[in-house]
Structure 1
Amino acid sequence: MSTGMIVLTVIVAVVIIAAAASPVLRGRGRHGGSGLRRRFGPEYDRTVALHDGDTEAAERELAERVERHGGLRERPLDQAGREHYAARWTAVQEHFVESPRQAVAEADQLLADVAAARGYPDGGRYEEQFAALSVHHADHVDGYRQVHRVARAGARDALTEAGSGTEEMRTALVGARALFDDLTHPSGETGSGSHTPWAFNRTHPKEG
């Protein structure tokens, strides 16, 4: 092969590699580093921790979430819909007193249903739904993670005495409530006073 052909081959290879790398570099420019940290807040740090401190891997995951779900537009809930879900949340709180595990499972399903009603991926695809929620509700999405984890643990341990303690289940529901309020109230409207308050925080529910 002549020297000219070798040079031409090298140039073509460099151009191909540059073209392949360009979308990745553009993605990091739009979403990476401080931009991702600002957008995801505490979820950024949690994702880094889940990747054992590998910031690069965590940022790739978060950037992919933004690419997939950043354009999602939430569907509004009408008044009847908000009242329906508020009633279901009230039932969750009432059930917690006698059956914390049942209440956590109900809260997990309720968040999945509300998110689907708002236009997020169906709750049967938890990982995908969670990823989409994290892009638009980063401050409170960890509540969904906690309640889903505790609900799954409760389902696995239903036939034993093992599983999450009452305090852990209560903490999970408190976190879930924050995301629930985000999803069921119009932008700028807070959830205080709209649902039955977390009045049983100081009660001692059964462990059943």
Structure 2
Amino acid sequence: MSTGLIIAIVIAAAVFVVAALLAVRARGSGPQGLKRRFGPEYERTVAQHGGDTKAAERELAERVQRHGALHERELDPAERERYAARWTTAQEHFVDSPRESVTEIDRLLAEVAAARGFPAEAQYDDQVDALSVHHADHVDGYRRIHRAALAPVGGSPLGQAGTEEMRTAMLEARSLFDDLVAPSSREHGRHRAGVGADTDTGGHLPWSADQSRPKES
């Protein structure tokens, strides 16, 4: 076999490999691929861009490019136990101190995410973007709890509406917490459902989602 023929075969093989890689990347970053990967986060981003799907898809594709290769570090059992205990303590304090409870949950999510290998808690926007790539189904719960923790009180006692908003934010944030503290052996894909509040990651919330008052013990 001549040298020229060998070179031609090598070049053809290289072109085929590059084309295959580009095709795989296109399937993952094209409109349908982004919809599958981001789920509700795709719709939220489109709405944030005023219905401009092209702009939303550019943003989501950029997130994948920046954070798609991030490797999540496995938490050891002691870490999971410690974080679960902090969540339980925070939720138990909600009835008497909702603001402090929500602030602690916001801080806890940031710390757990950083421990898993996401951007540091001080880089909130980057941390949320990275979480949206790997935990798209539940990342908006983090946004809600963060907004609730930072919302001004205005110097007056919190009304029922404010308390209920914080309660709902805490319920939604729990799904992301469960995702982050669950052992990888129990994970079944990037968009699996939340582990649930009745697992060993912290017990039941002391209220139900459709009630305006905490349950009495």
Q: Same fold (TM over 0.5)?
A: yes
Unaligned runs of 5+ residues in structure 1 are 1-25
Query: Match for residue 40 of structure 2?
Result: 42
Tell me which residue corresponds to 2:207: 200
TM-score, length of structure 2 as denominator length: 0.76
1:150 is matched with 148
Cα distance, 1:184–1:30 mapped onto 2, change above 3 Å: closer
Equivalent residue number for residue 183 of structure 2: 186
Identity level (%): 60
2:49 corresponds to which residue? 51
Deviation at 1:92, TM superposition (A): 1.1
Aligned to 1:16: none
Instruction: From 168, 174, 184, give the equivalent of 2:171.
Output: 174
Listed one character per residue, the Cα deviations across residues 68-109 of structure 1 (whole Å, up to 9, x for unaligned) are 000000001000000000010001111101011111111100
Structure 2 counterpart of 1:121: 119
- For residue 93 of structure 2, give the secondary structure of its aligned residue in structure 1: helix
Q: More helix per residue: 1 or 2?
A: 1
The residue type equivalent to 1:32 in the other structure is: G
Task: List alignment gaps of at least 5 residues for structure 2.
Answer: 1-23, 188-194
Give the distance between the partners of 2:181 and 2:29, measured in 1 at CA: 28
Q: Assess if the C-alpha contact under 8 Å between 2:164 and 2:212 holds in 1.
A: no
Paired AA for residue 72 in structure 2: E
Which residue number corresponds to residue 16 of structure 2? none
Q: Distance in 2 between matches of 1:203 and 1:55?
A: 37
- The answer to whether 1:63 aligns with 2:79 is no
Q: Which has the higher contact order (CA 8 A, sep 6+)?
A: 1
Deviations 1:102-130, CA, capped at 9 Å, x for gaps: 11111100000000000000111110000
Please report how far the alpha carbon of residue 200 of structure 1 lies from its aligned counterpart in structure 2 after TM superposition.
2.7
- CA drift of 1:186 comes to 1.3
Which of 129, 132, 135 in structure 2 is aligned with 1:134?
Answer: 132
Cross-structure match for 1:77: 75
**Cα 1:108–1:141 shift into 2, 3 Å:** same
Matches within 5 A, 1:89-100: 89-100=87-98
Residues 112-156 of structure 1: per-residue CA shift (max 9 Å, x gap): 000000000011111000000000000111110110111111xx3
